[in-house]
Amino acid sequence: MSSAGKDPNGQSPISHVNSQWSEIIGLIEGFSSAFGFPSIIDLYKNVQDLPVDERFTDARSVYEQLFGLEDIDDAGVEDLPAGLTDTLPSETSEKEELAKSVFLFLGSQLREMKESIILKALSDREHERQYLIFLAYLDDLLEQVDEIFQGLSGEEISNKTGLLSEFLALSSHFMLISAGEEQELGEEFVRDIYRARYYRSLRRGTDPENDPEELEFDDMTRRLEMKAAVLIYEEQDISISRGAELAHLPLEEFESLLEEHGVSPNYGPENREELNDGPTLTK
């Protein structure tokens, strides 16, 4: 199997994520065990064992089966696992607020991770391409988290069950990397990014841009690297030449890439008046 980034020296995104999140995963697993909940790692392993089409459309069923529930939404208190009745609110509105808090916290933690991955991509030349790929992955995962939070906040979203399945399928990589169970940004990792986009398009009723099963691995990784380079250029104070360097493109092609993504190049002051409006430097 092809790999976008093995971790022989403990310096790639794999080790970075594991060092940042392994303690959190340990706390979650300890909480689950103490209250009689199933293992979150077992959940994500079971999700990854599903056939591709089921993983992105019906991964929620794994959650239901692991908890012994046929339908989470319709389950009564007496159906819940040991310990759950004492820890979850009884009112629906309170459960929704709890879920919103969970996804709000998850979003904030992933944004912190995203910022650290950007800094790594800018500073670690040896593993730059792997960090770019992981950054593109995190950006897509955050989009899912934000959409789930919007749905919990009352906004209309299409097919909530499908969205949750997409989230479980895509986030499984992050959780298993954090737990030390996934050791490379391999072909399945990369292809699942495109699969999540494909099934998101189907769920929203739009035409998918590509069939992820027909894309070549090298082509997928290059697209992710270029997307991440645009993202860094948009969010960080870097020159357009540094952005082109990150994307491994000539300057003119990077300018065209920015235009395709609706990002305006920042060339600095366009005239003397703009230059004079800048900060005054003093000795």
DSSP letter at 70 equals S
- pLDDT of residue 51 exceeding 80: yes
DSSP strands (E only) in 119-242: none
Determine the Cα–Cα distance for residues 137 and 228; give it in Å rounded to an integer: 9
Q: How confident is the model at residue 282 (pLDDT cuts 50, 70, 90)?
A: very low
* Three-state DSSP class for residue 246: helix
- pLDDT of residue 80 exceeding 80: no
* Three-state DSSP class for residue 154: coil
For residue 170, the model assigns a pLDDT of: 96
Question: What does pTM read for this prediction?
Answer: 0.83
DSSP strands (E only) in the chain: none
What's the average model confidence in pLDDT over 87-115?
80
What's the average model confidence in pLDDT over 82-89?
47
Write the pLDDT tens digit of every residue in 143-157: 999 999 998 888 888
For residue 270, the model assigns a pLDDT of: 46
- pLDDT of residue 190 exceeding 90: yes
Task: Measure the CA angle with vertex 35, ends 24 and 25; round to 5°.
Answer: 15
For residue 97, the model assigns a pLDDT of: 82
Q: How confident is the model at residue 78 (pLDDT cuts 50, 70, 90)?
A: very low
For residue 35, the model assigns a pLDDT of: 76
Q: How many C-beta neighbours within 10 Å does residue 174 have? A: 20
Q: How confident is the model at residue 90 (pLDDT cuts 50, 70, 90)?
A: low
For residue 10, the model assigns a pLDDT of: 42
Three-class HEC string of 250-275: CHHHHHHHHHHCCCCCCCCCCCHHHH
For residue 91, the model assigns a pLDDT of: 57
Determine the Cα–Cα distance for residues 117 and 135; give it in Å rounded to an integer: 6
Residue 29: burial class (beta carbons within 10 Å; 0-12, 13-18, 19+): middle
Residue 157: burial class (beta carbons within 10 Å; 0-12, 13-18, 19+): middle
Write the pLDDT tens digit of every residue in 222-238: 999 999 999 999 999 89
Those residues whose C-beta lies under 8 Å from the C-beta of residue 44, and which sit 6 or more positions away, are 168, 171, 172, 175, 176
For residue 28, the model assigns a pLDDT of: 86
Q: Please, are residues 179 and 73 in contact by the beta-carbon 8 Å criterion?
A: no
Determine the Cα–Cα distance for residues 36 and 22; give it in Å rounded to an integer: 21
For residue 4, the model assigns a pLDDT of: 55
Determine the Cα–Cα distance for residues 71 and 69; give it in Å rounded to an integer: 5
Domain ranges (residues) in the chain: 13-216
